[in-house]
Structure 1
Amino acid sequence: MTLVKRFAANAQALATHRAGTYTVPAVLVHARDGASDTVTAAWLDHLAQPLAVHTLDGDHYSVLHAERLDALASVVRESWNTGSDRTAPRRTGSTEKNTPEGKKA
């Protein structure tokens, strides 16, 4: 599939998708140069459990670049290791504890 076709398919999926509520604990990784605070808050509206928000350098795509993968992997690894304990200190990026309503605690 070409890149243009992939973006077109993603745009079509986005236009028709209606998100529900994710009911288990989650960790949100926010790209510093990516989504606005409004978009991040919209994601938080779909999460029923308190969570940690990690802000990493880069945008939606560049957080996956080789030079940034260690930071992303650290967030994933630490989140996996702490399980449901979303209040554990984080080593990478900045972390904010949020309520299910998307408001800072």
Structure 2
Amino acid sequence: MRFLYQTVADLLSEHDNLYILASWSLIEVIAPQGRVDSRWLSLIEAYPERFMIGSDVVGQFQYQQGALAVWDPVLSALPKHVANKMAYQNMLTVLPKSTPSGDN
């Protein structure tokens, strides 16, 4: 998967509306064996509004915390404001805003 970094970097630079939802499958690319790849950190810092973490946990939310904990080494290696964006702020930004009547 060595090609993935450059592919993602190219796509992010070419498409302003591309977001990366990083879940369980991408953690082994960004932080193989828990060691964070500095190229990916630089890419996340270059596009701080475009990365967000996810868990792929569906219907069994008791596993959510453990599934998301695998991202702790990445989030800890980023500046706090970037880590906060990746951890939750970016997801809130892309969710539809509801109106007072509940219509979107």
* Shared fold (TM-score, shorter chain, > 0.5): no
TM-score by length of 1: 0.32
TM-score by length of 2: 0.32
